[in-house]
Amino acid sequence: MNQIKVCHSNPLKGEASPPPDKSISHRAVIFSSLAEGRSVIENFLAAEDPMRTLEAFRQMGIDIEQSNDGGTVTINGKGLNGLSAPDGAIDCGNSGTTMRMMSGVLSGQPFSSTLTGDRYLLKRPMQRVISPLAKMGAVITSEAGGFPPLHIKGGNLSPVKYNSPVASAQVKSSILLAGLYCNGITTVVEPEKSRDHTERMLRAAGVDINVQGLEVSIKGRAKLNPMDIRVPADFSSAAFFIVAGLIVPGSEVLIKDVGINQTRTGLLDILIMMGASVQLLNQRDISGEPVADILVKHSSLSGIETGGEMLLRAIDEFPILCVAAALAEGTTKITGAQELRVKESDRIAAMASELAKMGVKVEELPDGIIIEGRDNLDAADVSSHGDHRIAMSMIVAGFMAKGETTVDDTDCIDTSFPGFMDMINRLKE
């Protein structure tokens, strides 16, 4: 278990190129593997989470080549019915996206399979995919309460119209993937719109998909065409540079080639309302996703009340938003975010306890947090709770503390952002 020590930071200056998007990397592997023919994925995120998805398809007989740096992936897809039974349990590691999306794929297969994961993933709720997939005809057994491992007996699915109680792209994608194996139309209705990378990629693969507000329908038994996909930089990884650039006095950072899909960029809207100087430059489209360079300048931030739809579009950015709030003038109240309790860690409890160690007045709410901003933080020994986004957020917080802050248990950063420390340290020179 590594630890990282950080000190008060000089201004951050220059350009950063965050790693490729994690959500899009998972999906690129899944849809290329289910397509008929050769797809090439460029700028794939060869980090632990998407590699779990890639290895799952290798385990089911898909021929996947990867360049030495891991970033170019060539997949010879065998079509929807081209997977063979895996030789053992599929290990999803820490990746909830792998487990939930693969459960949809495996529900459509004529063989039985098991999905398992690390000690954190084994505590994450899977009933949200088990219920709809069971309605479609899959037989899924789990530990009591709907926890992994999942044992899936697939095949013979029927289409459903499913009103999802949670706004979750993993749930939506899992059902749509199972829907590919049904005769007829499968529909998912969400309470709010979650990220839409699956819809975009299915459309690019030639699947008949219809989006009407919060309702997404696909026609099953489609043939997926192979694709050439270039993955943009991950907005959720760029978020650490955005907030670091805003809070460290004298900073000016240009963050390059970042995906700015509306369903992901709630953090920008919230920060701009807090007074942030953020500009989107060079806006363009790459492989069906909007992309820009993001210019950030140090700004005086003010506290804000936020939640609901805006926060859903910033769901993975909650930890780093808490750091921005801790350094804003006045009080920030974030509500409507119960989902944060079942992410890689309980992110509400984790941020409340770790920011309190740095002298911040914090009140934990059942569905959010209240944070009193300060001019600077106290150095402390803090923990990542085994969660990559908590680890990186607390490192950025350490830049604004007097003295040395130690962040414990930082190996988890590799699940989404190998090389994070090198990239952020380069901006200090």
User: Whole-number minimum distance, CB 167 to ligand S3P, in Å?
Assistant: 7
- Kindly state the number of chain residues that form the binding site for ligand S3P, as judged by CB under 6 A: 11
Pairing of strands 13-16, 377-378: unpaired
Q: State the residue for tokens 């999306």.
A: 101
Q: Tell whether residue 345 is a contact of ligand S3P (CB under 6 A).
A: no
d(CA 338, CA 325): 19
Q: Which of 170, 287, 345, 410 binds ligand S3P (CB under 6 A)?
A: 170
* Closer Cβ to ligand S3P, 289 or 316, answer by number: 316
* Closer Cβ to ligand S3P, 101 or 355, answer by number: 101
Q: Rounded to the nearest 5°, which phi and psi values hold at 72?
A: -115, 125
Q: State the DSSP H helix or E strand holding residue 256, giving kind and residue range, or none if neither.
A: strand 252-259
> With b meaning 16 or more CB within 10 Å and e meaning fewer, what string describes 164-192?
bebbbbbbbbbbbbbbbbbeeebbbebee
The region of 116-124, 163-171, 215-223, 290-298 touching ligand S3P under the rule CB under 6 A is 163-171
Task: Say which of 21, 257, 316, 346 is annotated catalytic.
Answer: 316
User: Whole-number minimum distance, CB 39 to ligand S3P, in Å?
Assistant: 19
Binding mask 38-77 toward ligand S3P (x if CB under 6 A, else -) reads ----------------------------------------
Q: Tell whether residue 21 is a contact of ligand S3P (CB under 6 A).
A: no
Where would I find the H helices in 219-264? Answer: 235-247
Partners of residue 293 on adjacent β-strands: 281
* Neighbour tally for 346: CB within 10 Å: 18
* Closer Cβ to ligand S3P, 209 or 377, answer by number: 209
Q: How many residues does the chain have?
A: 429
Q: Which of 169, 325, 327, 391 binds ligand S3P (CB under 6 A)?
A: 169
**HSE (side-chain half, CA atoms, 13 Å) at 412:** 23
Pairing of strands 405-408, 305-306: unpaired
The region of 81-89, 109-117, 162-170, 376-384 touching ligand S3P under the rule CB under 6 A is 162-170
Q: Tell whether residue 95 is a contact of ligand S3P (CB under 6 A).
A: no
Partners of residue 152 on adjacent β-strands: 113, 140
Where are the strands (E) in 43-103, listed by range?
63-66, 72-78, 90-91
Q: Tell whether residue 168 is a contact of ligand S3P (CB under 6 A).
A: yes
* Closer Cβ to ligand S3P, 26 or 78, answer by number: 26
User: Whole-number minimum distance, CB 180 to ligand S3P, in Å?
Assistant: 17
d(CA 133, CA 199): 19
User: Whole-number minimum distance, CB 403 to ligand S3P, in Å?
Assistant: 32
Where are the strands (E) in 359-412, listed by range?
362-365, 368-372, 377-378, 381-383, 401-402, 405-408
Considering only residues 288 through 317, tell me which ones interact with ligand S3P, judged by CB under 6 A.
315-316
Would you call 316 a catalytic residue per the annotation? yes
* Closer Cβ to ligand S3P, 168 or 410, answer by number: 168
149 cis-preceded (ω within 30 degrees of 0) = yes
The region of 75-83, 164-172, 174-182, 273-281 touching ligand S3P under the rule CB under 6 A is 164-172
Q: Tell whether residue 199 is a contact of ligand S3P (CB under 6 A).
A: no
Q: Which of 39, 97, 332, 405 binds ligand S3P (CB under 6 A)?
A: 97
Query: Are the beta carbons of 53 and 95 closer than 8 angstroms?
Result: yes
* Closer Cβ to ligand S3P, 323 or 328, answer by number: 323
* Closer Cβ to ligand S3P, 201 or 247, answer by number: 201
Considering only residues 314 through 333, tell me which ones interact with ligand S3P, judged by CB under 6 A.
315-316
Q: Which of 33, 59, 94, 194 binds ligand S3P (CB under 6 A)?
A: 194
User: Whole-number minimum distance, CB 168 to ligand S3P, in Å?
Assistant: 3
Token pair recorded at residue 412: 């988890």
* Closer Cβ to ligand S3P, 115 or 377, answer by number: 115
Classify residue 72 by burial, with Cβ atoms within 10 Å: 0-12, 13-18, 19+.
middle
Using CA atoms, how far residue 427 sits from 15, 18, 221, 373, 422, in Å, is 7, 13, 49, 25, 9
The region of 106-114, 151-159, 168-176, 272-280 touching ligand S3P under the rule CB under 6 A is 168-176
User: Whole-number minimum distance, CB 194 to ligand S3P, in Å?
Assistant: 6
Instruction: Return the active site residues.
Output: 316
| Residues that bind ligand S3P in the complex, under the rule CB under 6 A | 23, 26, 97, 168-170, 173, 194-195, 315-316
